[in-house]
Amino acid sequence: MNLDLLKNRKKQRSFKRLIKSFKYAAEGFIYTLKNEQNLIVHICTAVIAIIFGLIFRISIVEWLFILIIIGLVFCSELINTSIEALVDLVSPEKHPLAKIAKDAAAGAVLCLCAVALIGGLIIFVPKIIGIFL
């Protein structure tokens, strides 16, 4: 590995640089929010889960699951968006490998959403059934 490359990779630490990094992260989130309708679906689902959590007074452990899975779903959607953008940059024309990369990233989001749904059902279905018994 080239040591000069590693030296150039070192970045100065500063408060201004830290603030800029938060600004760039917010821009990435806002871009995804404006351009990926799935993130809107994830946000709406998260709001519903939080409302249900408040209504049913779920336990601390249940809250931890809900909050962690919400964060993971949001993060996976942001990573999926970045992979799609990168693939579009390096392969503007249709290519089978580009399709695989984009589909696999979307599949990862889908898998995580399935886990979130199952977890939400495990937490909330018994509470909903308890209302009617």
Q: Is residue 9 part of a domain?
A: no
CA contacts within 13 A on the Cβ side of 110: 6
- CATH number, domain with residue 87: 1.10.287.3610
Q: Is residue 106 part of a domain?
A: yes
Q: How confident is the model at residue 13 (pLDDT cuts 50, 70, 90)?
A: confident
> Over the stretch 47-85, which tens digit does the pLDDT of each residue have?
999 999 999 999 999 999 999 999 999 999 999 999 999
In contact, 93 and 25? CB cutoff 8 Å: no
Q: Can you give the three-state secondary structure of 43-79, one letter per residue? A: HHHHHHHHHHHHHHCCCHHHHHHHHHHHHHHHHHHHH
Domain that holds residue 127: 22-132
From 27, 62, 77, 93, active-site residue: 77
| Amino acid type, 25 | A
Residue 77 annotated as catalytic: yes
Q: How confident is the model at residue 15 (pLDDT cuts 50, 70, 90)?
A: confident
Q: How confident is the model at residue 1 (pLDDT cuts 50, 70, 90)?
A: low
